């Protein structure tokens, strides 16, 4: 009977903290495996580019950030696909 509060606390932590984190990890893994050439993405460092190439083992991607600029990143550095708004014109001027 005296272990019941510890079991309740353990279940609380599992359902409130661990399960949502596991679901987020599954979602992120699925997102990274569905990336393909010509997807526009943003990296964890804030770099925005279009996937120009994916390595044969799938661990690295080459992003095209400008017409003549390509940068290699680990696939895990991709934060999310970028959804362009209809009014964006692609100019980087400020």
pLDDT of residue 30: 92
Shared domain check, 27 and 49: no
Q: Residue 72 and residue 78: Cα distance in Å, rounded?
A: 11
Does the pLDDT at position 84 exceed 80? no
Q: Is residue 94 in some structural domain? A: no
* CATH of residue 42: 2.30.30
Shared domain check, 75 and 47: yes
pLDDT of residue 13: 86
Shared domain check, 40 and 28: no
Give the chain's count of helices (H) and strands (E): 2, 5
Please count the structural domains in the chain: 2
Domain limits for position 13: 1-34
Coil vs helix vs strand at 33: helix
Shared domain check, 49 and 28: no
- Answer whether 0.85 is exceeded by the pTM: no
Q: Is residue 93 in some structural domain? A: no
Q: Is residue 29 in some structural domain? A: yes
pLDDT digits (tens, 9 = 90+) for 21-72: 999 999 999 988 889 999 999 999 999 999 999 999 989 999 999 999 999 9
Shared domain check, 48 and 69: yes
Does the pLDDT at position 9 exceed 80? yes
Please report which confidence band the pLDDT of residue 88 belongs to, taking 50, 70 and 90 as the band edges: low
């Amino acid at each position: 009977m005296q272990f019941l509060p510890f079991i309740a606390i353990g279940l609380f932590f599992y359902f409130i903290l661990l399960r949502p984190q596991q679901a987020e990890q599954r979602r992120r893994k699925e997102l990274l495996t569905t990336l393909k050439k010509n997807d526009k993405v943003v990296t964890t460092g804030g770099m925005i580019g279009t996937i120009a190439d994916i390595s044969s083992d799938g661990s690295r991607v080459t992003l095209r950030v400008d017409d003549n600029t390509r940068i290699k990143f680990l696939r895990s550095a991709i934060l999310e696909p970028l959804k362009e708004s209809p009014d964006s014109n692609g100019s980087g001027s400020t």
